[in-house]
Structure 1
Amino acid sequence: MDLQALFTIYKESQLSGRYITNKHIQPILEEYKGVCDVRVEGRSVLGKPIYSILAGTGDIRIFIWSQMHGNESTTTKAIFDLLSFLNSEDAFAKTLLGHFTLYILPILNPDGAEAYTRVNANAVDLNRDSVYLSQPESKVLRKCFEEFKPHYCYNMHDQRTIFGVGDAPMPATVSFLSPAYNDEREINDSRQKAINLIAAMNDTLQEHIPGQVGRFDDSFNINCIGDMFQSLGVPTVLFEAGYYQGDHEREITRKFIFFALLSGINAIYENVIAVNRSEEYFNIPQNKIVFYDILFKNVKINYENKEKITNFASQYREVLFDNSVIFQAIISEIGNLDTMHGHAEIDCNGAEFSTDEGNKMPKTD
């Protein structure tokens, strides 16, 4: 299966960039109404529709939701790339739709998506609301889960640029987690299936982004939706779309999420995930916070009226402006920073720091 060729052909051209809302996906949903079951499953805090897409007629049911955090849109783009392929005339796509039924909530948190925030309109993190179900979006997700009775769950997220793979200076472009189902982080049949599925997807990704696949910490928290669904006996996989070199818009990362989605579905179809692959899964390096967006080295500053050579790091703040996301660099750390890396590193060779106001000492935000 030539994943690169499939992505090139079927990438959803109507979606791009970081800012993805209901307004962006509604024209696509209109197109799919003739080939998929498109519904409104409920409403957000501010009354926006929470859409679902039902694709396929097969016996194996996969439940997928994205933008639980409103500003995490990369996986939403990849889901529509996948749907573009599955709804094509490709023979293998038709085979998959006869083997699987996919139930997709493309934007679970439409209020957060429009405001470009992690939380919903009540300032609640929906991924910490799986027990109390205090929010309308959380209730929609649980209702769909209980009615659909999935065999697999895909919990789709973005991750920040701060994460690297182990101690190596490689960004965590894609990360996975098979969530724990209890405090002891034991492996039962449900979690084992998720582990085996991740190992299969990792095999594919290592061919394209070697050394850039990470594994999230599996500490148990029943308030997290992935941990909850795993504890309810459904193999659940957390997808995290991270940073690829130079790709702040996550247009390259969306491709690798598409690769993971399609290769994972193919692994289930070919029934190659029955073998215990725990060792391979736990050998995927764990995510670590080792990156800043920009690292300035050997900068001369004036500290307490003394000249000093130091380093400082900048992180991009993502700001919604005129219906698009812009990146504002802020100084986040000053000091040695020997254990950290920069996605961009600039050796200032002793050049003096100063601002337009004449300040000789940078201020952290």
Structure 2
Amino acid sequence: MDYEKIFSQNKEKKIKGRYITLDDIEPLLKKLNRENQLQIIGKSVLENPIYSYQIGTGKIKILLWSQMHGNESTTTKALIDFLNFLNSESEVANQLLGFFTFYSIPMLNPDGAKLYTRENANKVDLNRDSQNLTQPESKILRKVYEDFKPDYCYNLHDQRTIFGVADTGKPATVSFLSPSYNEERSINEERVKGINVIVKMNEVLQRYIPGQVGRFDDGFNINCIGDTFQSMGTPTILFEAGHFQGDYDREETRKFIFFALLSGFIAIYENVVVGNQIVDYMNIPQNNPNFFDFVYKNVRINYDSSELITNFAAQYKEELINNKIFFNAFVVKIGDLEENFGHLEYDANKELYSDSNQNIPNLNQKADFYLGKNVQIVNGLVKL
């Protein structure tokens, strides 16, 4: 199957980048509302509508939700692309629509999306509210779950650029998890169903991003929505959209999330996810928070009247200014970086560090400095 071609045919070109709000997706959903598939299922804290989009007539019911965390928009883009595909009237799309019923919530947290925050407008992390259900958004998702009674749940998220695939030096561009349902992290029949789908998705992704698929930590937390739904007997799959080299807008990662969605549903449709593929699942390397956006090595500094050679790292902070996301780099670690990697690494070759302040790197300062007389670093990057 030509996943690249299918994606290019169905990619929604009206949304891109990291800042995706309800204003961006609402007209796209309305355009897809050909047979009354779009519904308002509730309101957010700030009274913004929360939409569902249901399509398909099959007996296998799939519940998908995205942007539970407002600043995690990659899977929302991929989900809209996938809805475009389901409406494409292609042979594969029609086969899936006859086999599945898809119930999606493309943006569970529209307030957080507008503010570009992880939390909702009450500053509550909805992914820690699955038991107490204190927030309207949490209650809406729970009611949908109870009424729809899905056969599979797809919990769609982004993860930070800090995650790599074990100690390979490769970024975790896509990560998966079949969550635990108890403290012992036991594996039962429902969890195996999610595991088997993940293995099939990983097999496809390895053709495009070899070595860049990770397995998310399965520590049990009943307050997390995936762990809750798994404990309630529904196979649940966590998606984490991560970093692809140079892709801070996550347009490449968006494509791979689409590949994963499509390939996983095809695997279920073709009935090739039966059996037990726990070993293959466990062989997917686990995520490791060992990356920085920038690593500078062998930097000479004047410290306390002595010259030292050190390393330091900088990380982007994402800041919303005038409805646009700016990536501003700050120093976050100084010293031993032996077990860390940088998405961009620079060897200073013992050139002397200097800046406009104390001429030594300090934590939390902006990553603007010189290395020697000729190399200027502005916002983490070498100024050309």
Q: Same fold (TM over 0.5)?
A: yes
Matches of 2:14 and 2:101, distance apart in 1 = 24
State how 1:150-165 maps to structure 2 within 5 Å.
Answer: 150-165=150-165
SS of corresponding position for 1:272: coil
Q: Which runs of 4+ in 1 moved over 6 A?
A: none
Partner of 2:118: 118
SS of corresponding position for 1:9: helix
Partner of 1:361: 360
| CA contact 1:171–1:244 (8 Å) conserved in 2 | yes
Query: Mind listing any 5+ residue stretches in structure 1 that lack a counterpart?
Result: none
Matches of 1:259 and 1:170, distance apart in 2 = 20
Partner of 2:42: 42
Matches of 1:126 and 1:303, distance apart in 2 = 46
Matches of 2:200 and 2:50, distance apart in 1 = 31
Matches of 1:136 and 1:304, distance apart in 2 = 56
Deviation at 1:58, TM superposition (A): 1.1
The TM-score with structure 2 as length reference comes to 0.93
SS of corresponding position for 2:314: strand
Partner of 1:133: 133
Matches of 1:113 and 1:334, distance apart in 2 = 33
Matches of 1:233 and 1:208, distance apart in 2 = 33
Q: AA paired with 2:360? A: M
Partner of 1:68: 68
Matches of 1:49 and 1:89, distance apart in 2 = 29
Question: Over residues 133-191 of structure 1, what are the superposed CA-to-partner deviations in whole Å (9 max), with x where a residue is unaligned?
Answer: 00110000000111100000000000011100011000000000000011111111110
Partner of 2:370: none
Partner of 2:10: 10
Question: Over residues 30-66 of structure 1, what are the superposed CA-to-partner deviations in whole Å (9 max), with x where a residue is unaligned?
Answer: 1011145101111111111111101111111000000
Partner of 1:149: 149
Partner of 2:188: 188
Partner of 1:94: 94
Matches of 1:362 and 1:6, distance apart in 2 = 48
SS of corresponding position for 1:252: helix
SS of corresponding position for 2:41: strand
Q: AA paired with 2:39? A: R
Partner of 2:174: 174
SS of corresponding position for 1:24: helix
Alignment RMSD (CA, Å): 0.9
SS of corresponding position for 1:18: coil
Query: Mind listing any 5+ residue stretches in structure 2 that lack a counterpart?
Result: 365-384
Q: AA paired with 2:134? A: S
Percentage of pairs with the same residue: 59
Matches of 1:336 and 1:304, distance apart in 2 = 19
Matches of 2:218 and 2:113, distance apart in 1 = 27
Deviation at 1:86, TM superposition (A): 0.8
Q: Which moved more, 1:288-297 or 1:303-312?
A: 303-312
Structure 1 residues 245 and 36, CA gap change in structure 2 (3 angstroms) = farther
Matches of 1:21 and 1:79, distance apart in 2 = 14
Partner of 1:54: 54
Partner of 2:249: 249
Q: Which moved more, 1:317-326 or 1:62-71?
A: 317-326
1:105 aligns with 2:105: yes
Partner of 1:238: 238
Q: Which moved more, 1:298-307 or 1:80-89?
A: 298-307
Matches of 2:142 and 2:88, distance apart in 1 = 30
Matches of 1:307 and 1:345, distance apart in 2 = 22
Partner of 2:379: none
Partner of 1:80: 80
| CA contact 1:36–1:55 (8 Å) conserved in 2 | no
Q: AA paired with 1:102? A: F
Partner of 1:317: 317
Matches of 1:55 and 1:301, distance apart in 2 = 61
Matches of 1:95 and 1:305, distance apart in 2 = 72
- Number of positions where the alignment pairs a residue of Structure 1 with one of Structure 2: 364
Q: Which moved more, 1:344-353 or 1:328-337?
A: 344-353
Q: AA paired with 1:363? A: N
Matches of 1:136 and 1:302, distance apart in 2 = 55
Matches of 1:149 and 1:319, distance apart in 2 = 38
| CA contact 1:35–1:87 (8 Å) conserved in 2 | no
Q: AA paired with 2:190? A: S
Partner of 2:287: 287
Matches of 2:76 and 2:140, distance apart in 1 = 18
Structure 1 residues 36 and 164, CA gap change in structure 2 (3 angstroms) = farther
Q: Which moved more, 1:294-303 or 1:71-80?
A: 294-303
Q: AA paired with 2:7? A: F
The TM-score with structure 1 as length reference comes to 0.98
| CA contact 1:162–1:293 (8 Å) conserved in 2 | yes
